[in-house]
Structure 1
């Protein structure tokens, strides 16, 4: 039996099904991954330096807009706080008068008590609302004219005190809303500035160098436009001076002159020039101080804080925000700008500078920069005003 068993053909072993299944699954996975890789969206290209510059500039502009909102809310909050304090003080004073009148009524009631006539007259004097008893003829007959006046005063003071309390309550609600807006604007400024700083922090050294070169080109173009405006203004001034000189020259044929009328308005121009000198002297003294949003000096400024402080030095009170400052004074064309005029920028009027002549201005530019002289063409001009 063992000999016969040794001549049997060995059984061929086949691959098991699980092995085939694993191979198929692996192939399917590879195929799926390959398909996904082929159809996946390409990675978004990194922004160019020009795009970064535009984005950063836009973020700073937006921060400037939010700064003006912050300034407006801060001014409104301060004004409202003063009104609330005044109303609370007035309410307290009226409450004290009311208490004095109540004490006087109490004295009358005590006197009646001593005279044995506590009811109903004493009840009238001590009631929270004596007016409810006022029309009772039998009671009025017992009252002197002095007592009647005290009761009338009491009623008037009650109404005044209630009115002042209502006004104070409403004013407090408005103050709360202003303070909430103040916090929101502050947060918006911080978010815009943080986003801009993040963009800049991601640039390589080479990219930062390229960005600086773009800034130099932008400044050079703005300066070229400023020089052109300076030439145009100089030519216009010379033409005006020549015309004035000709009008003042006596007519040789008649022996008379016609120049007296040319002095009209010169006093006004001289007065404005004198104010402008003070404005620019103050502004120049601030050059090099840092821009800080919401700041009004003396160690730092935002754009409208600087213009407000500079014109205050010349005796002119300007409102706090660019949006209000643009409404003060007389509108002037860019070609007609004079030193001291205010130049506003962007469609949302979120920036302002002080014109110093020759197409240049002094302004507090943006976070990270100091008060400096710069071409008015560095930013898109909205319009200009002469404050005084």
Structure 2
């Protein structure tokens, strides 16, 4: 069904099902208006998803840093206890001989701050005692520094977690609004809406077979790959990975293996080729060499919208593989269906 015919059918159905037979019901959005608003909400949700992905990456890094510092603190505490045991043994020996040094008493009984301020008293001890107290002092200083670092990392983690929660809520709100709009449609209108959405990716003959795999059953039928040569073996491997992902569902925040969001798919595809890409679209666009639209080769990352909020993997002949939006599967689509914002070639 052509887009014009689909629009006419939706409008016809709306005149009966949305406004009712009596004409007394409050006017509701037409299917065309629903589609337009749902498209906007999906785009806004994707922008929030990208922000969520970035915040999650920061939170994961901060959490890892905190764990590393906590492990380091445990090791240093063990060394501190060993140093204290050594000093304590020296003190016990002096106590038994009745000649315990005042500096040892200070090291064992005073606060670290007081001890460090008066550490010059170590000079009064013999070489062995001085070395033991030096180790004790170094461990105390090191632990104090590590605790300060851990405190800073914990604060960074809490901030990242707060941002993560805010972006997650933003995504969920937009998706809830989209679901509420779609719920206004009858079953027939929703079927027409879904068919219209699928037809967006069948705008050209090269993309038409994608409909055969855009479902949860993941048919083994695949459209032929473009004959356009990839610029490298790694680019060819990235394209092959994305090709195998056709039909898998879009899930916001997902990086595979059974679902993806848009940047999660491109990251996973290039990871399979041995290249590590950043997590978000607005960082992926800076990963590699920028190329113009006329220079595109298979494997290149193609970005859309002024805010760099969507990305796909170019496969040749003006087509890309991408994870479009919630409710849709990874699919082949023309890059012309969205405002082109730039492209980059990972290496």
Matches within 5 A, 1:266-345: 272-345=231-304
TM-score after normalising by structure 1: 0.71
Shift of 1:292: 0.8
Q: Distance in 1 between matches of 2:192 and 2:246?
A: 27
**Secondary structure of 1:154's partner?**
helix
Contact in 1 for aligned 2:301/2:314 (Cα 8 Å): yes
**Secondary structure of 2:341's partner?**
strand
Match for residue 62 of structure 1 among 44, 61, 66: 44
Match for residue 47 of structure 1 among 26, 29, 48: 29
Shift of 1:386: 0.9
Contact in 2 for aligned 1:223/1:377 (Cα 8 Å): no
Matches within 5 A, 1:149-164: 149-164=131-146
Q: Distance in 2 between matches of 1:44 and 1:324?
A: 46
Contact in 1 for aligned 2:301/2:343 (Cα 8 Å): yes
Shift of 1:157: 1.4
**Secondary structure of 2:204's partner?**
helix
Contact in 2 for aligned 1:294/1:305 (Cα 8 Å): yes
Matches within 5 A, 1:114-193: 114-118=96-100, 120-128=102-110, 129=112, 130-136=115-121, 140-141=123-124, 143-193=125-175
Shift of 1:140: 3.8
1:248-291: CA deviation from partner (whole Å, max 9, x where unpaired): xxxxxxxxxxxxxxxxxxxxx98833222211111111111111
**Secondary structure of 2:314's partner?**
strand
Match for residue 378 of structure 1 among 327, 332, 337: 337
After superposition, the CA RMSD in angstroms is: 2.7
Does 2:159 align with 1:200? no
Does 2:75 align with 1:93? yes
**Secondary structure of 2:91's partner?**
helix
Q: Radius of gyration: which is bigger?
A: 1
Contact in 1 for aligned 2:58/2:160 (Cα 8 Å): yes
Structure 1 168/134 Cα, relative in aligned 2: closer, same or farther at 3 Å?
Answer: closer
Q: Distance in 1 between matches of 2:332 and 2:206?
A: 15
Contact in 1 for aligned 2:62/2:153 (Cα 8 Å): yes
**Secondary structure of 1:384's partner?**
strand
Does 2:109 align with 1:107? no
Contact in 2 for aligned 1:296/1:302 (Cα 8 Å): yes
Q: Distance in 1 between matches of 2:91 and 2:146?
A: 29
Long gaps (5+) in structure 2: 1-24, 209-227
Long gaps (5+) in structure 1: 1-42, 228-268
